[in-house]
C-alpha cells in the first residue's frame, strides 16, 4: 500500500514541496480513498479505471493531486543527489534535455539545472492545483472547459521528474531501497495516463523501454 509506505521511516516522508491535501469529507476525498482501496488490491489496470457514475474531470483531478504528492515525496528522498553540480542541465539520459517555460512568467524556454527546473516545475504545478477556478474543491463547482488540457500539461511535466530520477539518480534510489516504491508509483502513473490517453507517446520516449517492461506483465 503506497500510503502506508509514506508513514514508515522518517527519511521517506521528506517532502520536496508542501503536500497538497484534498479536504476530508469532500467527494474528492471519497474518490481518493476509493483509489487507495483499489490500489491495495494490486490490480493497477483496474485501479485507474473511472469508477462507475463518476465525473472524468474529478477523477483526473484527484489522481493528478495524488501523483503530485507521490513525485514530491520521491524527489524529496534524492534531493541531496540532485545538485547544480551533478545535474547542470535538466535531462533524461543523453538524448533528452528539457528547458523550462511556463508561458506566463517565463515565455522563452530557459536552460537551467535539474534542481532549478524541478523547483520551477513543482511550484508551477502547485499553483495550478491551488487555483480553485482550475481545480475546484467545492461540491457543485464545475471544472473549467480547459481543465483537461491543463491536466495533460501537468502530467506531461510530472513525467519528466520520473524520467530524470530514473536516468540520472537510479543508483541512490537503489541505495535508499526506494526502487520498489518508485516502480509502483511510476507504473500506476503510466497505467493512468494510458487509460485516459493523457500524455503523447513522443513525450514518453525517454522511458519507453521501462514502460514496456513494467506494463507487459499486466496486459
Q: Which residues fall in the annotated binding site? A: 82, 87, 164, 169
User: Mean pLDDT, 10 residues at a time, over the chain (219 residues)?
Assistant: 38 68 85 83 85 94 95 94 96 95 89 96 95 88 95 98 97 93 94 96 96 79
**How far is Cα 129 from Cα 20, in angstroms, rounded to an integer?**
8
**pLDDT at position 200, please?**
95
Residue 113 CB-density burial (10 A; 0-12 exposed, 13-18 middle, 19+ buried): middle
Distance CA 75, CA 3 (A): 16
pTM for the full model? 0.89
Q: Which fold has domain 27-216?
A: Butyryl-CoA Dehydrogenase, subunit A; domain 3 (1.20.140)
Angle between helices 114-130 and 147-168 (to 10 degrees): 150
As a whole number of angstroms, the distance between CA 36 and CA 47 comes to 8
What are the structural domain ranges in the chain? 27-216
pLDDT value of position 8: 36
Say what the pLDDT of residue 218 is: 57
Task: Tell me the binding residues for Zn(2+).
Answer: 82, 87, 164, 169
Amino acid at each position: 500500500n503506497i500510503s502506508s509506505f509514506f508513514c514508515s521511516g522518517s527519511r521517506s516522508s521528506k517532502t520536496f514541496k508542501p503536500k497538497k491535501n484534498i479536504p476530508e469529507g469532500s467527494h474528492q476525498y471519497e474518490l481518493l480513498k476509493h483509489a487507495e482501496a483499489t490500489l491495495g488490491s494490486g490490480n493497477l489496470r483496474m485501479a485507474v479505471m473511472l469508477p462507475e457514475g463518476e465525473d472524468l474531470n474529478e477523477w483526473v483531478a484527484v489522481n493528478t493531486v495524488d501523483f503530485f504528492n507521490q513525485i514530491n515525496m520521491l524527489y524529496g528522498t534524492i534531493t541531496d543527489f540532485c545538485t547544480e553540480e551533478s545535474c547542470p542541465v535538466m535531462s533524461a539520459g543523453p538524448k533528452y534535455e528539457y528547458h523550462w517555460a511556463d508561458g506566463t512568467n517565463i515565455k522563452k524556454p530557459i536552460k537551467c539545472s535539474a534542481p532549478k527546473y524541478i523547483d520551477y516545475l513543482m511550484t508551477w504545478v502547485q499553483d495550478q492545483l491551488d487555483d480553485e477556478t482550475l481545480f475546484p474543491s467545492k461540491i457543485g463547482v464545475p471544472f473549467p472547459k480547459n481543465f483537461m488540457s491543463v491536466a495533460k500539461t501537468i502530467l506531461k511535466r510530472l513525467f519528466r521528474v520520473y524520467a530524470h530520477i530514473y536516468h540520472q539518480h537510479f543508483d541512490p534510489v537503489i541505495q535508499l531501497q526506494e526502487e520498489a516504491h518508485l516502480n509502483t508509483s511510476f507504473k500506476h502513473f503510466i497505467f493512468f495516463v494510458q487509460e485516459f490517453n493523457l500524455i503523447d507517446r513522443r513525450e514518453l520516449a525517454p522511458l519507453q523501454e521501462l514502460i514496456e517492461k513494467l506494463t507487459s506483465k499486466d496486459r
